[in-house]
Structure 1
Amino acid sequence: MEREGRASWMKYGPVVSLFVVILSFWFRSPQNEVLDDRLDTVLSSLLRAEGKVGVNNVARPKVAVGFGGCVDLIVDGVSLLNKIGLAHTDQPLHHDLIENEVQLAQSFAYFFAPGAAAERFVLNDTFFSELVEASRDLPGNRWAIGGNAPRNSKALTQICWWWVGLQMMDNFPFQSGEHGQFCRRGYKEELFHYVILHADSLGMNEQELPNLLSLLKGSNITVLSDPNPRVATVLDQMREVYRIVNLRSKEDSNTSSAKAKPLTRLHVHTLAFQAMIVTHGSKWKNTMSATAKASLTANRHVCGSDDIDPSKARLIMDDSFSVSQREGSVRIPLQESRPVSCWDEDDYEICVAPVLVCTEVYQTAGGGDNVSAAGLVLQI
Structure 2
Amino acid sequence: MGRGAAAERFFSDKEAFHAIAQVASELPGAQHYVGGNAALIGQKFAANSDLKVLLCGPVGPKLHELLDDNVFVPPESLQEGDEFHLILEYQAGEQWGQLRAPHANRFIFSHDLSNGAMSTLEVFMSSLEEFQPDLVVLSGLHMMEGQSEALQRKRLSEVVASLSDIPTDVPVHLELASMTNRELMSSLVHQQVFPAVASLGLNEQELLFLSQSASGPHSTLTSWSGVPDVGMVSDILFWILKEHGRNHTRASALTRIHFHTLAYHILATVDGHWANQLAAVAAGARVAGTQACATEAIDAGRVSLRAPREFLTSRLEAASRIVLNPNEPVVQWQREGVSFHFTPVLVCRDPLRTVGLGDAISAEGLLYSEARPHS
Compute the TM-score of the two structures, normalised by the length of structure 1. 0.61
Structure with more contact order per residue of length (Cα contacts < 8 Å, sep ≥ 6): 1
Contact 2:267 2:340 in 1 (8 A): yes
Query: Shift in Å at residue 161 of structure 1?
Result: 5.0
Q: Distance in 2 between matches of 1:127 and 1:228?
A: 36
Q: Distance in 2 between matches of 1:299 and 1:317?
A: 13
Q: What whole-Å deviation, never above 9, does each CA across 1:73-117 have from its counterpart, x for those lacking one? A: xxxxxxxxxxxxxxxxxxxxxxxxxxxxxxxxxxxxxxx110111
Q: What whole-Å deviation, never above 9, does each CA across 1:122-170 have from its counterpart, x for those lacking one? A: 2223322332244346575411111121111111122215441221234
3-state DSSP class of the match of 2:151? coil
1:278 counterpart residue number: 269
1:213 counterpart residue number: 211
Query: Shift in Å at residue 304 of structure 1?
Result: 2.2
Against the structure 1 CA distance between its residues 176 and 349, is the aligned structure 2 distance closer, same or farther, given a 3 Å change threshold?
closer
Residue 235 in structure 1 maps to residue 234 in structure 2: yes
Q: Distance in 2 between matches of 1:134 and 1:359?
A: 31
Residue 320 in structure 1 maps to residue 310 in structure 2: yes
Identical counterparts, % of pairs: 29
Q: Distance in 2 between matches of 1:287 and 1:347?
A: 15
3-state DSSP class of the match of 2:208? helix
Compute the TM-score of the two structures, normalised by the length of structure 2. 0.62
3-state DSSP class of the match of 2:342? strand
> Which moved further from structure 2: 236-245 or 340-349?
340-349
3-state DSSP class of the match of 1:360? coil
Query: Shift in Å at residue 204 of structure 1?
Result: 0.7
Unmatched tracts of structure 2, length 5 or more: 54-135, 157-180, 371-375
3-state DSSP class of the match of 2:289? helix
Aligned amino acid, residue 254 of structure 2: L
Aligned amino acid, residue 281 of structure 1: G
Residue 376 in structure 1 maps to residue 366 in structure 2: yes
Q: Distance in 1 between matches of 2:268 and 2:206?
A: 16
Equivalent of 2:142, from 143, 146, 169? 169
Q: Which structure has the greater CA radius of gyration?
A: 1
Q: What whole-Å deviation, never above 9, does each CA across 1:198-239 have from its counterpart, x for those lacking one? A: 112111110111222233338999997326312111111111
Residue 359 in structure 1 maps to residue 349 in structure 2: yes
Against the structure 1 CA distance between its residues 187 and 348, is the aligned structure 2 distance closer, same or farther, given a 3 Å change threshold?
closer
3-state DSSP class of the match of 2:139? coil
Aligned amino acid, residue 195 of structure 1: V
Contact 1:285 1:378 in 2 (8 A): no
Equivalent of 1:124, from 7, 10, 13? 13
Against the structure 1 CA distance between its residues 360 and 137, is the aligned structure 2 distance closer, same or farther, given a 3 Å change threshold?
farther
The count of aligned residue pairs is 260
1:264 counterpart residue number: 255
Q: Distance in 2 between matches of 1:269 and 1:280?
A: 20
3-state DSSP class of the match of 2:340? strand
Q: Distance in 2 between matches of 1:181 and 1:219?
A: 29
Query: Shift in Å at residue 352 of structure 1?
Result: 0.3
Aligned amino acid, residue 145 of structure 2: F
3-state DSSP class of the match of 1:146? coil
Contact 1:182 1:188 in 2 (8 A): no
Residue 186 in structure 1 maps to residue 183 in structure 2: yes
Against the structure 1 CA distance between its residues 128 and 263, is the aligned structure 2 distance closer, same or farther, given a 3 Å change threshold?
same
Q: Distance in 1 between matches of 2:317 and 2:248?
A: 31
Residue 245 in structure 1 maps to residue 244 in structure 2: yes
3-state DSSP class of the match of 1:372? helix
Q: Write 1 or 2 for the structure with the bigger share of helix.
A: 1
What's the RMSD between the two structures over aligned residues? 2.9
Q: Distance in 2 between matches of 1:180 and 1:326?
A: 34
Q: Distance in 1 between matches of 2:217 and 2:209?
A: 9
Against the structure 1 CA distance between its residues 187 and 229, is the aligned structure 2 distance closer, same or farther, given a 3 Å change threshold?
closer
Aligned amino acid, residue 269 of structure 1: H
Unmatched tracts of structure 1, length 5 or more: 1-111, 254-259
Against the structure 1 CA distance between its residues 357 and 187, is the aligned structure 2 distance closer, same or farther, given a 3 Å change threshold?
closer
